[in-house]
Amino acid sequence: MKAPKPEATGDGSLTLHHPDYGQTYHSRHGAVTESRHVFLEQGGVGERLRAGAPTRVLEVGFGLGLNFLLGADLALAHDTVFDYAGLECALLPRRRLAELDYGRWLAHHGLQQALLAALPEQPPATGCIRMRHGTVHLELLLGDATARPWQGRFHAVWLDAFSPDANPELWTEPFLAALADALLPGGCLSTYSARGAVRRALQAAGLRVEKRPGPPGKREMLRAWRD
């Protein structure tokens, strides 16, 4: 099957359509805009990095690498340590990620090249990929996220899997409870989803959940805090 071509979104940044899940990796209303809004700003990571606070992030769904790149770029701008652990079950070939040209949205233009250099052209199904670039440390865990391969606890969890309809195993009550347990006190889980079942599962896991305004094209999103 022919690989889908990158699609322009509302803010000019590109995304891809996933043929198996029948969804795009990011909002068609603006991939970069959605990423910054949901994960950097509503999730509190942007505030921490601008304040110079070392920050550990766990992301469910590395996808096209956009969320990581935007967070890493902000960390470099403020000379702040950014420890990132990403979970991905089907990493795309390096050339596919290069086609998206996310480097033009970054202040540190060498960041995308550093990421691409760390990635294999034909990624394995399982394993771990590591990268260090200035104050940025990446650990990309390939394989089944429900096996909970991460270690330690985090200031933020970015839940950016495909929707509960398309990717239900990453939205179950046990898995969301495991993500809640991965948060440090005061840590925040953010996700583009505002579905009631997700909200109730996060509340059952002991988090304080609130609806927040969503990015363009989406009325609401969720963020959940560990007190």
The model's pLDDT over 144-155, given as tens digits with 9 standing for 90+, comes to 999 999 999 999
pTM of the model: 0.96
The answer to the question of residue 219 being in a domain is no
Which residues face 191 on adjacent strands?
Answer: 159, 222
Distance CA 78, CA 190 (A): 22
In-domain check, residue 1 = no
User: Cα–Cα distances in Å, from 80 out to 112, 129, 179?
Assistant: 18, 22, 24
Q: What is the pLDDT of residue 19?
A: 86
Query: What's the CATH number where 120 sits?
Result: 3.40.50.150
Residue 156, beta-bridge partner list: 57, 188
Within-domain flag for 165? yes
- Give the pLDDT score at 202: 98
211 is a domain residue: no
Identify the bridge partners of residue 159 per DSSP, sorted by sequence position.
60, 191
Strand bridging mode 23-24 / 55-60: unpaired
Q: In this model, does residue 1 exceed pLDDT 60?
A: no
Block residue for tokens 């990423």: 35
Asked, for residue 171, whether it belongs to a domain, the answer is: yes
Count of structural domains, the chain: 1
pLDDT in tens, 75-115: 999 999 999 999 999 999 999 999 999 999 999 989 999 99
The three-state (H, E, C) secondary structure of 34-71, written as one string: HHHHHHHHCCCHHHHHHCCCCEEEEEECCCCCHHHHHH
Q: Find the domain containing 119 and state its range.
A: 7-190
> Rounded to an integer, what distance in angstroms lies between the CA atom of residue 137 and that of residue 142?
16
Tell which phi-psi region holds residue 36, choosing left (phi > 0), alpha (psi between -120 and 50) or beta.
Answer: alpha
Answer yes or no: is 141 within a domain: yes
Name the token pair of 37.
């809004």
The Cα 17–Cα 101 span in angstroms is: 16
Going by C-alpha positions, the residue among 70, 17, 12 that lies closest to residue 40 is: 70
Whether the CB-CB separation of 84 and 140 falls below 8 Å is answered with no
- Distance (Å, rounded) from C-alpha 88 to C-alpha 156? 17
Q: What is the mean pLDDT of residues 17-37?
A: 94
- Residue 143 falls within a domain, yes or no? yes
The answer to whether the beta carbons of residues 188 and 223 sit under 8 Å apart is yes
Phi-psi region of 60 (alpha: psi -120 to 50; beta: other; left: phi over 0): beta
- Residues 43, 24: Cα–Cα separation, whole Å: 22
Examine the pLDDT at 199 and tell me if it is beyond 70. yes
